[in-house]
Amino acid sequence: MAQLALGLMSGTSCDGISAALVRFQRQTLRVLAEHTQPYPLRVSRVLRRAPTLTAPELSMLNMVLGEQFARAAQRVLRAARMRPTRLAVIGSHGHTIYHGPGDAIPSTLQLGEPCVIAERLGVPVVADFRPRDLAAGGCGAPLVPAFDEAFFGKGVTRALQNLGGVGNVTVVGRAIDAVAFDTGPGNCLMDLVVQQMSRGRMRFDAHGHLALRGRIDHRAVERMWRQPYFRQPPPKSTGRELFNEAWLRQMFSTALARAPLDVLATLTYFTAYSIAESYRRFIRHRLHEVIVSGGGAHNRTLMRHLARLLAPVPVHSIERYGIPAQAKEPVAFAFLALQALRHRANHLPHTTGARGARILGSVTPGQPA
């Protein structure tokens, strides 16, 4: 029987809420509508300084985000001319405020109040996926590999590379056990440079056009590649706590202000370089294809670098499989939510480190009493 589910995701880029309406039938899926609702600038600024917010501010942010997620869901439903009552579930990842799996007391916090979403839409919401994995001894991440395994796991060996703020890969195929790790920066460093040089007028390098105007500094590429994270074997994950403005300043010093286009060109190349080299270092399986998703798949300069550095392995956008690039993660969370309602495990414990298979997510009923 076909089931409709809606997925909501807000990633490390703080660019907006990506939503997707999906029809699942057995081993197949169809994206009926999708949209990324950009955050108002003031919201994305608040999200970027989330670690410094006070308790009342965080409490309010949770409700504000809940409303924003609900609105993103309504918008996608409207685009598909569909009533919310047809949905089996909404899977909402929320926005990660803090993720500390390696702390003395491991913890993780995603905001975007599911009760608000359930109240506005009248649909059951599955949210808070990560804490259960953490409670079971896992890292609470990565979670998307369970989706990758379900929909790409029976084919040839492939790498599914997501390019959000951070880059992450899952390698799946019928002959292997899934492997997943963060490759390093995705768009986060490029976004920072573009926002700085345009004084906030531009949020990212649309289609990678700006990067074409700069020169790649290969010595800076070598310098960045020396960062110990890249030598650490998987499983591993990273984020803004490492690849941030301070790191950029350390790597480029005055070039940031003097030649921002060169820095952008270099970072665009480096993102592809760190992915290709990480594959070489850590993926022992022969890859038949690399499928790229996330907003970075729209960056043509980045995609061209990737294709060149990974040749002869073909590099394709996930759009070739009928999934719009930024819809991949919301589609995955729609699926994980459906699995939770079906009482099926919705993570791969050997990629998160959890003690065993669990059903991730808390369920908020949709109907009033």
Residue 146 has a CB neighbour count (10 Å cut-off) of 28
The residue within the footprint of Mg ion, chosen from 5, 6, 13, 141 (CB under 5 A), is 13
**Residues within window 207-236 making contact with ligand ADP, judged by CB under 6 A:** 207-208
Dihedrals phi, psi of 223, to nearest 5 degrees: -60, -45
Could you tell me if 337 and 126 are in contact, meaning their C-beta atoms sit under 8 angstroms apart?
A: yes
Q: Which does 260 bind (CB under 5 to 8 A by kind): Mg ion, ligand ADP, none?
A: none
Whole-number CA gyration radius for the chain: 20
CB-nearer residue toward ligand ADP: 157 or 247? 247
CB-nearer residue toward ligand ADP: 43 or 341? 43
3-class DSSP state of 340: helix
Residue 298 near ligand ADP by CB under 6 A: yes
Q: Which does 296 bind (CB under 5 to 8 A by kind): ligand ADP, Mg ion, none?
A: ligand ADP
The residue within the footprint of Mg ion, chosen from 15, 149, 217, 262 (CB under 5 A), is 15
Residue 326 near ligand ADP by CB under 6 A: yes
Could you tell me if 62 and 113 are in contact, meaning their C-beta atoms sit under 8 angstroms apart?
A: yes
Contact segment (CB under 6 A) with ligand ADP among 127-135, 246-254, 283-291, 294-302 equals 294-302
Contacts of 2 (CB under 8 A, 6+ apart): 23, 24, 25
Residue by residue, what is the 3-state secondary structure of 6-45? EEEEECCCCCEEEEEEEEEECCEEEEEEEEEEECCHHHHH
Side-chain-facing half-sphere of 218: CA atoms under 13 Å: 0
**Residues within window 162-181 making contact with ligand ADP, judged by CB under 6 A:** 164-165
The residue within the footprint of ligand ADP, chosen from 41, 156, 202, 206 (CB under 6 A), is 206
CB-nearer residue toward ligand ADP: 38 or 155? 38
Nearest distance, CB of residue 165 and Mg ion, angstroms: 7
Residue 92 near ligand ADP by CB under 6 A: no
Q: Which does 204 bind (CB under 5 to 8 A by kind): Mg ion, ligand ADP, none?
A: ligand ADP
Dihedrals phi, psi of 338, to nearest 5 degrees: -60, -45
Size of the site for Mg ion (CB under 5 A): 3
Alpha-carbon span 273 to 298, nearest angstrom? 17
CA distance readout (Å), 156 to 13, 41, 128, 286? 31, 42, 32, 10
Residue 158 near ligand ADP by CB under 6 A: no
The residues of the shown chain that bind Mg ion, judged by CB under 5 A, are 11, 13, 15
The residues of the shown chain that bind ligand ADP, judged by CB under 6 A, are 11-13, 15, 18, 164-165, 187, 191, 204-208, 294-296, 298-299, 326, 329
